């Protein structure tokens, strides 16, 4: 949802309203208007931070926004600007609570940018100064005014259509201007420059005196305006009762895996779509067009199948940084990974077409898909993960197959897996101690830490197996780590890779034939000791 949406008080069920809009560059013919606008944005941003802290302390919003209250007197704002500042602060506070984040740890200006400043302070002075300027703009460069139908649009940031320039002779050309209320009956004027396809929709609201929200943002010394308004949407016609189209976005290979899941949890059909067109886009605009084209293709498929859409609820993807030992190839894949942008477009477009969109907990979806469905149904790991997402959206609980449950309780399997990781850790420690290259040492250190975490997972091999049911809403059901323990015990020791592409060797195990190899000298079907040693030599260099 675009900024400027409604805020629902805590304790009530939040019903987000759909908003649409456009962004435009503001050009100030009078430099004095530009300076005055920046000053107003600075004071409004300070009022948002002050109001957030006061709301966090439990103070009453009505008292804070009064004409003789602290926001009006300290920051020289009128009551409507003060109320809008509190609206922004309350929206941030509500979102933090809904995401189960600590609201006292909010960083105005961005936590990631603050971390970058701390990292660059002593290493790269030119880049540090640019980041510092960006930090200041984010903290000081905000101004927001909500729309009001009774005020014929927006009383404080009002759009005006006039011929030519306000400061010269009139011309036949029609221009769109933004009138910025500076307070005390003073106004600043800025020319609105945009060729966005929604411009005509915005102009129709201006002519009809319909409300629209405006938010100003400062970036690299330029002021941009985001105009947003509530959109009338059709009722939901396609729901999960008819099944779901589940999506799984993957970085390697860069593409989408889609699975259409019937209401009974069976797999109707599946396919994959490449995102290489997005990767080849020449600029940000071309990339956005490619992502929207992909979103339309996905939503059209859901309409064709008569199903809802289900995706993972993703929060953060670590993209790494240079020198962290993750490797250039991994960082390139992670930075091009446009999962959040694509999923946001899919959900927005689905709602516009009356299709229900669902988000589920992403925990262990890939692991369950690789261990359970990829071998049995001859699916790729990506399609299998999408299948699990679809089943989870429909409320199905993933039980561990009986052969895998038996494997979890087998002492010989447990002991052999433990010996494998202990031997790998010993070899990695020796290589880490002898390695002189600091980057390779860091990479070996990361690999060593991963092996230690895997070894720490092994005690749960003898625990109570279980699995997630539906969206866990942040809680782990009993035995959820059994899936991870199976992954640790089967993938690298047997198949030679942390994330294997070919999972067909696990099919005999799922069919109950693990008794034939459990007591042998070497794991089966992953090969003998020589194969395991080879995987060890390659694994550190390739990252598994």
Residue (of 211, 231, 248) closest to 352 by Cα position:
231
**Listed residues 230, 261, 293: the one ending a domain:** 230
253 cis-preceded (ω within 30 degrees of 0): yes
β-strand partners of 312:
360
Question: Count of H helices and E strands in the chain?
Answer: 20, 12
- 12 within a domain of the structure (yes/no): no
What integer pLDDT is reported at residue 115 of this predicted model? Answer: 84
User: Taking the chain (544 residues) in consecutive chunks of 10 residues, what is each chunk's mean pLDDT?
Assistant: 40 56 95 97 96 94 93 95 96 89 89 83 78 91 94 94 61 80 94 91 90 96 95 87 91 83 95 84 79 91 95 62 45 55 88 91 89 90 93 92 84 84 88 86 87 77 43 39 84 82 84 55 39 34 32
Residue-level pLDDT at 188: 97
Extract the runs of DSSP E, i.e. beta strands, from 335-419. Answer: 357-360
Where a domain ends, among 394, 413, 443?
A: 394
**383 & 430 share domain:** no
Q: Enumerate residues 6+ apart whose C-beta is below 8 A from 353.
A: 234, 299, 303
Instruction: Examine the domain organization and report whether 360 and 419 are in the same domain.
Output: no
Q: Which residues contact 249 (CB under 8 A, 6 or more apart)?
A: 256, 275, 337, 339, 342, 343
In a domain, 140, yes or no: yes
What is the model's pLDDT at position 66?
Answer: 93
Alpha-carbon gap, residue 318 to 263, rounded angstroms: 34
Residues 97 and 54 placed together within one structural domain of the fold: yes
Question: Is 476 a domain residue?
Answer: no
Confirm if 386 and 258 have CB atoms less than 8 A apart: yes
Q: Are residues 60 and 81 both part of a single domain?
A: yes
pLDDT the model gives residue 50: 96
**Host H or E run for residue 270:** strand 267-274
Predicted pLDDT at 1: 36
Last residue of one domain, picked from the residues 334, 369, 394: 394
User: DSSP secondary structure string, 163-182?
Assistant: ES-TTS---SSEEEEEEEEE
Predicted pLDDT at 531:
36
Sheet holding 186-193, edge to edge: 142-145, 213-219, 222-230, 19-27, 186-193, 174-183, 157-163
Q: Is 217 found in the same domain as 76?
A: yes
The domain in which residue 492 lies consists of 402-462+481-511
Q: What is the CA radius of gyration of the chain?
A: 28
- Nearest-10 crossing angle of helices 438-457, 411-434: 160
Question: Do residues 438 and 413 both lie within one domain?
Answer: yes
294/272 Cα distance (integer angstroms): 12
Do 47 and 193 share a structural domain? Answer: yes
β-sheet bridge partners, residue 163: 174
Query: d(Cα 488, Cα 238) in Å, to the nearest integer?
Result: 39
Q: Say if residues 267 and 203 touch (Cβ distance below 8 Å).
A: no
Residue 165: what pLDDT? Answer: 57
Residue 534 lies in a domain: no
> Is residue 519 in a domain?
no
For residue 262, the domain's CATH number is 3.30.420.140
Q: Does some domain include residue 180?
A: yes
Looking at the structure of the chain, the number of domains it has is 3
**143 in any annotated domain:** yes
Contact by Cβ (8 Å): 257, 342: no
Q: Are residues 27 and 101 in the same domain?
A: yes
DSSP bridge pairs for 267: 261
Q: Would you say 512 and 520 are in contact if contact means Cβ atoms under 8 Å apart?
A: no
Residues 100 and 51 in one domain: yes
Q: Rounded CA gap, 45 and 454, in Å?
A: 46
Backbone angles phi, psi at 161, to 5 degrees: -100, 125
Is residue 140 located within the same domain as residue 226? yes
Q: At what angle do helices 529-542 and 438-457 cross, to 10 degrees?
A: 130
Residues 74 and 157 both lie in one domain: yes
Query: pLDDT value at position 9?
Result: 40
Q: What's the gap between Cα 264 and its chain centre? A: 30
Rounded to whole angstroms, how far apart are CA atoms 359 and 247? 10
Return d(Cα 416, Cα 403) in angstroms, integer: 18
Question: Are 350 and 416 within one domain?
Answer: no
Residue 522 lies in a domain: no
């Amino acid at each position: 949802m675009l900024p400027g949406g409604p805020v629902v008080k805590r304790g009530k069920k939040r019903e987000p309203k759909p908003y649409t809009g456009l962004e435009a560059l503001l050009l100030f013919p009078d430099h004095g208007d530009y300076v005055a606008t920046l000053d107003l944005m600075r004071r409004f941003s300070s009022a948002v931070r002050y109001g957030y802290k006061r709301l966090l302390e439990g103070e009453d919003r009505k008292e804070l926004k009064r004409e003789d209250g602290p926001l009006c007197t300290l920051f020289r704002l009128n009551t409507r600007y003060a109320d809008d500042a509190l609206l922004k602060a309350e929206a941030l506070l509500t979102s933090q609570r809904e995401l189960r984040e600590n609201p006292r740890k909010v960083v105005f200006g961005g936590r990631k940018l603050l971390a970058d400043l701390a990292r660059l302070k002593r290493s790269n002075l030119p880049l540090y100064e640019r980041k510092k300027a960006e930090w200041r703009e984010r903290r000081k460069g905000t101004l927001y005014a909500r729309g009001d139908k009774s005020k014929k649009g927006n009383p404080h940031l009002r759009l005006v259509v006039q011929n030519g320039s306000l400061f010269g002779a009139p011309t036949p050309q029609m221009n769109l201007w933004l009138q910025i209320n500076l307070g005390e009956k003073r106004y600043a004027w800025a020319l609105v420059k945009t060729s966005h396809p929604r411009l005509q929709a915005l102009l129709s609201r201006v002519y009809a005196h319909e409300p629209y929200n405006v938010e100003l943002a400062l970036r690299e010394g330029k002021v941009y305006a985001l105009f947003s308004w509530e959109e009338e949407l059709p009722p939901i016609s396609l729901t999960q009762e008819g099944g779901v189209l589940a999506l799984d976005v993957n970085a390697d290979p860069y593409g989408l895996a889609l699975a259409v899941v019937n209401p009974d949890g069976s797999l109707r059909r599946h396919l994959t779509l490449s995102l290489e067109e997005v990767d080849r886009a020449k600029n940000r605009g071309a990339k956005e067009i490619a992502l929207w084209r992909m979103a339309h293709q996905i939503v059209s498929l859901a309409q064709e199948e008569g199903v809802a859409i289900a995706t993972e609820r993703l929060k953060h993807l670590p993209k790494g940084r240079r020198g962290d030992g993750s490797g250039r190839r991994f960082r390139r894949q992670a930075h091009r990974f446009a999962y959040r942008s694509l999923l946001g477009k899919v959900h927005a477009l689905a709602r516009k077409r009356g299709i229900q969109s669902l988000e589920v907990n992403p925990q262990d979806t890939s692991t369950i898909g690789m261990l359970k469905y990829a071998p049995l149904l001859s699916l790729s790991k990506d399609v299998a993960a999408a299948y699990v997402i679809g089943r989870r959206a429909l409320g199905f609980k993933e039980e561990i197959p009986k052969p895998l449950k038996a494997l979890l309780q087998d002492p010989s399997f447990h002991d052999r897996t433990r010996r494998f990781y202990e031997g790998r850790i010993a070899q990695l420690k020796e290589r880490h101690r002898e390695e002189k290259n600091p980057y390779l040492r860091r990479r070996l250190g990361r690999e060593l830490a991963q092996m230690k975490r895997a070894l720490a997972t092994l005690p749960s091999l003898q625990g109570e197996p279980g699995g997630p049911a539906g969206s866990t809403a942040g809680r782990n059901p009993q035995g959820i780590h059994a899936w991870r323990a199976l992954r640790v015990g089967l993938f690298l020791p047997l198949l030679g890779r942390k994330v294997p592409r070919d999972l067909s060797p696990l099919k005999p195990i799922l069919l109950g034939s693990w008794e034939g190899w459990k007591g042998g000298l070497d794991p089966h079907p992953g090969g003998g000791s020589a194969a395991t040693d080879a995987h060890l030599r390659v694994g550190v260099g390739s990252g598994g």
